C-alpha cells in the first residue's frame, strides 16, 4: 500500500512541476499596436513551446561557403532538403545609409527574401551591428567607454539627432516588409565588453532600449517583436540586471558560443535553463538566438551535442528557436567561419539525421502552422 501511495505522490509531483513549467497565459506583444499577423506568429511560438524548436541560420539565403548571391541557394537546403524555419539578418551599416550590410548583403535583397521566405514558412530575426555613433568605427570599437557613447545618443546627447536619423532608416526597412513580422534583436550580448553598447551602466542601457522601442513604435511600426539576448547568462539575476521590463520585450534570448567552444555541455544546458526560467517567470518565451560550433570540427555535433542539449529536459525543450551563425564565403570572406554544414562537409549526414528529428522544425514543417496566421 505504501508503495502505491508513493507512486501516486510521485506522479502528482511530476504533473505539478510540468504544469508549472508551461505558462498557461503568455504576455501579449509588448507593443499594444502590434499587427494581427505578428501577434498571431508570436502566439504560434508560444503554443508550441516545449514541443518543437525552429532551426535557424544567419544569412542563409544570401551566401554560403562556396557561393554568394545565387538566387534560391542555401547550404542548409542543400544538406537537409529543407530551408530553415528562421532566417537571421543583420542591419549593420544601414544606419550609415549604405546599400549593403556589414557582410555585403544588399538591403533590397534582404527585404525581398524576408517577404518570400515568410511565404515558404520561414520567419526572420534581425540583429543590428551598428557603427559606433561617436567614433565612426564598427560595433567592436570600444575605444571610448560605453557609458559615454550611450549618453551621447540618448536625449540631450551630442549624437542624439544622428541616432534618430539611424532609427529612421531602420523604420523605413521595417515598414517596407510589413506586415511580415520581424524578431528584432538589438544591442545583443550587452553583458559582454566587446561591443560599444556592452558592459555599460545597466540603467543607461535600459534608457537606450526604452527610447529605441518608443521611437520606433511612435513612428507607426507594428510588425516588430523584441528579442532581448544576453551572452551565456549564468543566473536569472544577471538577466534581470539588463532587463528593460516586460512592457518592452517579447522574447528572452541566449547567445552561447563559449560553452560550445570549450565543450562545456553541462554549462550549456544550465545557461539555457536559466534563460527559460527567467522567460517563464515573465510569461515570455525563450530562444537560443545565436550559437554553433565554428568550423564544425566534430562531425556528429548536431545530434550528439545540440540535439541532446535541446532535448535534455523540459526546460531546454522550451527553447523556441535555435539560430546557427553564418556560413561565410570561403573565397570572399573567411574560409573557416561557418556553422551549418555544406555539401561534402563531414557533418552533412549527421545534420541530415538532426533535421529528421520531429522536435526540430524547418520551413516545410512550420509552413502548415504559419498558414493559420494568414487571412
Cell of 133: 555613433
Give me the mean pLDDT over the 64-79 stretch: 97
C-alpha closest to that of 129 among 69, 59, 60, 80: 59
Instruction: Let me know how many helices (H) and strands (E) the chain has, helices first.
Output: 14, 11
DSSP state of 26: P
Domain that holds residue 325: 35-371
Helix ranges, 125-231 (H): 146-153, 160-177, 202-218
Write the pLDDT tens digit of every residue in 135-194. Answer: 999 999 999 999 999 999 999 999 999 999 999 999 999 999 999 999 999 999 999 999
Q: Please give the pLDDT value at position 3.
A: 43
- Residue 158 inside a domain? The answer is yes
Q: For residue 9, tell me if it sits in a domain.
A: no
> Cell for 244?
528593460
pLDDT at position 1 is 41
Q: Is 341 exposed, middle or buried (0-12, 13-18, 19+ CB in 10 A)?
A: buried
Supply φ then ψ for residue 68, to 5 degrees.
Answer: -150, 120
Task: Please determine, for residue 2, whether its predicted confidence score (pLDDT) is greater than 80.
Answer: no
The answer to whether residue 357 is domain-embedded is yes
pLDDT tens column, 288-309 = 999 999 999 999 999 999 999 9
Confidence of residue 316 (pLDDT cuts 50, 70, 90): very high
Question: Is 108 contained in some domain?
Answer: yes
Buried b (16+ CB within 10 A) or exposed e, 21-46: bebeebbebbbeebbebbbbbbebbb
- What pLDDT is recorded for position 8? 32
Q: Is 360 helix (H, G, I), strand (E, B) or coil?
A: strand
Number of domains in the chain: 1
The pLDDT assigned to 4 comes to: 40
Does residue 17 sit within a domain?
no
Determine, yes or no, domain membership for 22.
no
What CATH number is attached to the domain comprising 299?
A: 3.20.20.80
SS3 337: coil
State how far the Cα of 201 lies from the Cα of 203, in Å rounded to an integer. 5
User: Which pLDDT does position 372 carry in this prediction?
Assistant: 87
In sequence order, what are the beta bridge partners of 287? 253
22 pLDDT higher than 80: no
156 vs 261, more confident: 156
Determine contact, residues 233/275, Cβ cutoff 8 Å.
yes
Q: Is the peptide bond before 366 cis (omega within 30 degrees of 0)?
A: no
In a domain, 23, yes or no: no
| Amino acid 7: pLDDT | 35
Q: What is the DSSP string of 227-251?
A: EEEEES--SHHHHHHH---GGG-SE
Whether 7 is in a domain gets the answer no
Q: Say if CB 198 and CB 190 are below 8 A apart.
A: yes
- Residue 119's alpha-carbon distances to 76, 115, 123, 321, 351, in angstroms, are 18, 7, 9, 19, 25
**Average model confidence (pLDDT) across the chain:** 93
User: What is the per-residue pLDDT for 261?
Assistant: 67
Mean pLDDT to the nearest integer, 60-89: 97
17 touches 283 (CB < 8 A) = no
> Does residue 336 or residue 263 have the better pLDDT?
336
Phi, psi torsion values for 280, nearest 5 degrees: -65, -30
Tell me how crowded residue 3 is: count the other CB atoms within 10 A of its CB.
7
Amino acid at each position: 500500500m505504501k508503495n502505491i501511495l508513493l507512486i501516486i505522490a510521485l506522479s502528482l509531483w511530476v504533473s505539478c512541476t510540468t504544469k508549472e513549467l508551461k505558462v498557461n497565459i503568455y504576455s501579449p506583444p509588448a507593443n499594444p499596436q502590434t499587427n494581427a499577423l505578428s501577434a498571431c506568429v508570436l502566439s504560434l511560438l508560444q503554443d508550441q513551446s516545449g514541443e518543437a524548436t525552429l532551426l535557424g541560420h544567419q544569412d542563409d539565403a544570401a551566401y554560403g561557403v562556396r557561393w554568394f548571391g545565387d538566387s534560391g541557394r542555401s547550404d542548409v537546403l542543400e544538406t537537409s532538403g529543407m530551408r530553415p524555419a528562421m532566417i537571421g539578418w543583420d542591419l549593420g551599416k544601414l544606419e550609415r545609409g549604405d546599400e549593403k550590410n556589414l557582410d555585403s548583403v544588399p538591403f533590397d535583397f534582404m527585404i525581398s527574401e524576408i517577404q518570400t521566405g515568410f511565404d515558404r514558412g520561414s520567419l526572420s530575426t534581425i540583429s543590428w551591428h551598428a557603427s559606433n555613433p561617436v567614433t565612426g568605427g564598427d560595433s567592436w570599437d570600444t575605444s571610448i567607454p560605453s557609458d559615454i557613447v550611450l549618453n551621447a545618443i540618448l536625449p540631450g546627447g551630442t549624437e542624439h539627432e544622428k541616432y534618430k536619423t539611424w532609427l529612421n532608416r531602420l523604420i523605413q526597412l521595417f515598414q517596407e516588409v510589413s506586415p511580415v513580422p520581424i524578431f528584432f534583436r538589438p544591442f545583443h550580448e550587452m553583458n559582454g565588453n566587446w561591443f560599444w553598447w556592452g558592459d555599460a551602466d545597466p540603467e543607461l542601457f535600459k534608457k537606450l532600449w526604452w527610447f529605441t522601442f518608443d521611437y520606433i513604435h511612435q513612428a507607426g511600426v507594428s510588425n516588430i517583436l523584441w528579442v532581448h539576448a544576453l551572452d551565456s547568462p549564468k543566473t536569472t539575476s544577471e538577466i534581470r540586471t539588463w532587463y528593460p521590463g516586460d512592457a518592452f520585450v517579447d522574447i528572452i534570448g541566449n547567445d552561447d558560443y563559449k560553452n560550445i567552444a570549450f565543450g562545456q555541455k553541462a554549462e550549456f544546458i544550465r545557461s539555457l535553463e536559466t534563460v527559460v526560467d527567467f522567460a517563464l517567470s515573465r510569461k515570455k518565451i525563450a530562444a537560443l538566438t545565436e550559437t554553433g560550433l565554428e568550423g564544425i570540427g566534430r562531425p556528429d555535433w548536431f545530434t550528439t551535442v545540440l540535439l541532446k542539449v535541446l532535448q535534455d529536459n523540459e526546460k531546454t525543450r522550451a527553447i523556441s528557436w535555435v539560430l546557427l551563425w553564418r556560413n561565410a564565403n570561403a573565397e570572399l570572406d573567411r574560409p573557416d567561419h561557418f556553422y551549418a554544414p555544406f555539401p561534402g562537409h563531414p557533418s552533412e549526414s549527421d545534420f541530415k539525421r538532426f533535421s529528421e528529428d520531429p522536435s526540430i522544425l524547418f520551413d516545410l514543417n512550420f509552413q502548415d502552422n504559419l498558414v493559420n496566421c494568414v487571412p
